[in-house]
Each structure stands twice: as structure tokens, then as C-alpha cells.
Amino acid sequence: FLTQTKIVKRGLEIRARAAGASKTIEVEVDKPLGLTLGQKPGGGVVIAAVEGGGNAAKAGLKAGDQVLYTSSFFGDELWPADKLGFTKTAIQAKPDSVYFVVSRGAEVDVKKLTKRPAPPRFGQKLTEAQKARATHICLDCGYIYTLQKPFDEQPDTYACPQCRAPKKRFARYDVKTGKAIGGSLPPVGVIIGLVAGIGAVGALLVYGLQ
Ligand SMILES: [Zn+2]
């Protein structure tokens, strides 16, 4: 198994080198974002300027990066950034932070991109007391339900406090494995297939090695 892992990693490294300078970068940026967006002629949105020391700069975004996706109003989806006005409205409506997918070094026809689910936010650190109560997980963002009130007693109108996904988007959660039971997170293969079309080896590295 170890040998196999090594081969896979080496393969990815070679592909990353072959791709040259162009890459896709995915980051979550806290508000205030500290960036200015501009409209690309013929469609698409570009980062016109990044404030030095601002949150966008800290997250690694640079002027000239083409924005491919930003968070939707409720953060449950990523929407292609085609028209500047629409993208700005979505960004303004989204509280706290905005997820960006940008392309650096390669022009992408965003009209060919389709909406995709927002990536789940893993790595939520639970205390021992929370672990004992963790029974359900939001499939859209990875939020783990740890309230004392049993999940099944929540009304049908209950929504994920992190991404506003409806109650039916929660699945039972296995504390031991840290994974949903029965439900499934957005298939990685679909995401890779989508970005592979852009020739984004950077994204392959991000998703492939997690
Ligand atoms: Zn959620």
C-alpha cells in the first residue's frame, strides 16, 4: 500500500510540473475581503486589485487572477463568475466569508462552467462533550450537530447554522470515523472531472491528496 501511495504522489508531481505556471487556487476569504473585482471583456470576472495586508492577500489571491467561482448567497453552492454585477451581489449577500476559486496563468471560459456544491468544511474541532453529543453532519458544509436537543426533535424548518442547508441535507454522523453514515459528500471524481477540463493540475493536487 505504501509503495502504491508513493507512485500516485510522484505521478501527480510530474503532472504539476508539466502544467507550468497555470493553476487553480481555492481559498476561503474572511470579510472584509480587501479586493477589487473587474469585468473581463467578453465575460468573466478578474481580481483588479488586492489590498496589501488584507484578507484576500493573506489568503494568497493576487491581482490578475481570474475568478472562476464564488460562494452563492447562502454559501451552499459555488456559482461561476461571469457577470461582475451578479458576482458582486452574491458576495455582498454572503455573510462572514466568501469561497473563491481562481485561475492564475490561464484564461477560462466561465460560460462553460456550471454551478457546483460548496466544498465541505472539514476539520471542525470538537470537545469531548461535543463528541459525545455529535449525532448528525451537514452534507453540504460539514457542520456537525452537537446540541443537547436531539436532532430528530428539531422542526422540519431547522437549517444548518453554517450554510443554511435544510434539515434533510443532514446525515447521521459517526464520531469514530468522522464521516457521515449512509449519506455521501459531493463525489470527488465529479469535481476533478470538472476542473480537469480547465487543465487545472493545482486542483488535482488539492483534491487528490486529501
Ligand atoms: Zn451546512
pLDDT of residue 168: 93
Ligand 1 centroid – CA 141 distance (Å): 4
Residue extents of the structural domains in the chain? 2-119, 128-181
What is the mean predicted confidence (pLDDT) over 47-64? Answer: 96
Amino acid symbol at 8: V
Beta-carbon contacts of residue 33 (< 8 Å; ≥ 6 apart): 54, 55, 56, 91, 98
Q: What is the pLDDT of residues 18-44, one digit of tens each?
A: 345 688 998 888 889 999 999 998 889
List the end-to-end C-alpha distance of the chain, in Å, as a whole number.
Answer: 16
Task: Select from 2.30.42.10, 2.60.40.3950, 2.70.150.10, 3.10.310.40 the CATH code of 2-119.
Answer: 2.30.42.10
Pairing verdict, β 179-181 and 170-174 = antiparallel
- C-alpha torsion sign, points 203, 57, 51, 91: positive
Assigned CATH topology for domain 128-181: Rubrerythrin, domain 2 (2.20.28)
Ligand 1 centroid – CA 9 distance (Å): 31
Smallest CA-to-CA distance from 103 within 44, 42, 51, 30 is with 44
Confidence of residue 48 (pLDDT cuts 50, 70, 90): very high
Ligand 1 centroid – CA 169 distance (Å): 8
β-sheet bridge partners, residue 101: 26, 69
CB 78 within 8 A of CB 115: yes
What is the mean predicted confidence (pLDDT) over 54-68? Answer: 95
Ligand 1 centroid – CA 126 distance (Å): 16
Q: What is the share, in percent, of the chain residues with pLDDT greater than 90? A: 40
Decide if pLDDT at 17 tops 70.
Answer: no
Q: What is the pLDDT of residues 177-207, one digit of tens each?
A: 878 886 555 544 444 444 444 444 444 444 4
